[in-house]
Homo-oligomer: A and B are copies of this chain.
Amino acid sequence: MKRLWSVTGGAAAGRHGGLRKVVPLPPEREGRERERHGVDGQEASGGGICRLEFEETRRNGEQGRRGEGTKRWISSPAATELEKIVMDWVGEMLQLPKEFLFSGNGGGVLQGTTCEAIFCTLISARDQTLSRIGRENMKKLVVYGSKQTHRALQKAARLIAGIHPYNFRAIETSKSTSFGLSPDSLRSSICANIEAGLGPLLLCATVGTTSTTAIDPLGSLSEVANTYGVWVHIDAAYAGCACICPEFRHFMDGVEAANSFNLNAHKWFLTTFDCYCLWVKDLGALIKSLSTTPEFLRNKATDSREVMNYKDWQITLSRRFRALKLWFVLRSNGVANLRDFLRSHIKMAKLFEGLVEVDKRFEIVATRYWFASRCCHQQWERKLTQMEKLMTVIVIT
């Protein structure tokens, strides 16, 4: 406690950006100094947050409420600030462009799952486009992905966000492009739709698909999408984690032209379910679509616009304090150890691939990427079931 208060001047740590001063070092430099991090974590997350909460809520004339979580800054100022710090940290580890970080003009949020986050970006894109072309044109909006894109996009678009079921395009991919979405196919689809009087809305490109760990060419896809004013969301749910290793960072090349980006810390970052990281460049579009401020949630801090409320970044109003577990993972391991952990999995996958390669019962279907999933097709001698006919995906992690 002592250190926290001496560094920050007491309750000031809870103010907008104040907590950042408590741990000014980026996680990159932390390495294996576990003991010290443990103390930091305890200070900032335990007594610190409780006391900051009390001080800040008292200052703003607001009584604390149970179950408020990190819904509003005023309910838990230090928890909100910690989430912002953690999101900037992971963003920096990924070398995300500055525009996606709080230290730039964007920012990140921890949500539950891919569905939830894709849904939020889809709504932002939808409302941004409708404000330009008029709400009566909603039935004309088209969403693009590949046959490999996670089904979460289809669920968000077709079933939930009110996009017409016929306006979801799952573009074919092939082995020739290692199952990545071809920019030419995207351009053809967009042009055909515009000609038919439809309105291209959003493209979801993927780094590491569920079925084959395929990687879409982000740069050239974004170029096509940007030409037609299409929002680009990059879903790097699983494989994005590996991109904190410099040797794999190039799989994210092209992210600078996208509007939003995600990865799942609960997939490959030693973090428990659920912990999903979403970054957006245009905070205004997200918050405009998702914010509501009924009278009982108003307070001086928010009205002054000095702080932000994470309730305006997601579907639900209430939310859990997910930043804490990710904070502990980052602080107790350090980036160096996390990288070693990822590399050890990828090494195992390479070993596995070698064993499969020499076994004639299997065929390697997609080998290009050194992630921990390897796709191989077993050449069964007996009659194949429907599932076996498709592909046997062996996931080590």
The answer to whether B267 touches A316 (Cβ under 8 A) is no
Residue of B nearest to A298 (CB): B387
A159 with B317: CB separation less than 8 A: no
- Of B67, B113, B159, which one neighbours A290 at CB under 8 angstroms? B159
| Complex interface: chain B residues within 8 A of A159 (CB) | 123, 127, 289-290, 292
| A162 in contact with B161 given A114-B317, A315-B119 (CB within 8 Å) | yes
Complex CA gap A295/B320 in Å reads: 32
Among B119, B135, B211, the residue within 8 A (CB) of A139 is B135
B139 touches A316 (CB 8 A): no
Contact, CB under 8 Å: B320 / A273: yes
Quick check: B115 and A317 within 8 Å, CB to CB? yes
* A112 touching B113, Cβ below 8 Å: no
Q: Are A160 and B273 in contact (CB under 8 A)?
A: no
CB-CB under 8 A from A290, the residues of chain B are: 155, 159-160
Assembly of this chain: how many copies?
A: 2
Chain B nearest CB from A119 CB (Å) reads: 7
Q: How close is A261's CB to chain B, nearest CB, in angstroms?
A: 19
Q: When the two chains form their complex, are residues A112 and B114 in contact, meaning their CB atoms are under 8 A apart?
A: no
Binary CB contact string for chain A from 9 to 29 against chain B (1 if under 8 A, 0 otherwise): 000000000000000000000
**Chain B residues near A161 (CB-CB < 8 A):** 160-162
Whole-angstrom distance from the CB of A37 to the nearest CB of chain B?
A: 26
A194 to chain B, nearest CB (A): 21
Residue in chain B with minimal CB distance to A291:
B159
Tell me if A213 is interfacial: C-beta within 8 Å of chain B. no
Give the docked Cα–Cα distance between A45 and B65 (Å): 31
Give 9 pairs: A residue, B residue, CB < 8 Å, sorted on A.
A65-B395, A113-B319, A115-B315, A116-B316, A119-B160, A136-B139, A159-B289, A211-B295, A273-B318
- What are the 10 closest A-B residue pairs judged by CB atoms, nearest first? A162-B162, A115-B316, A151-B294, A113-B316, A113-B318, A155-B292, A67-B273, A151-B292, A116-B316, A115-B317
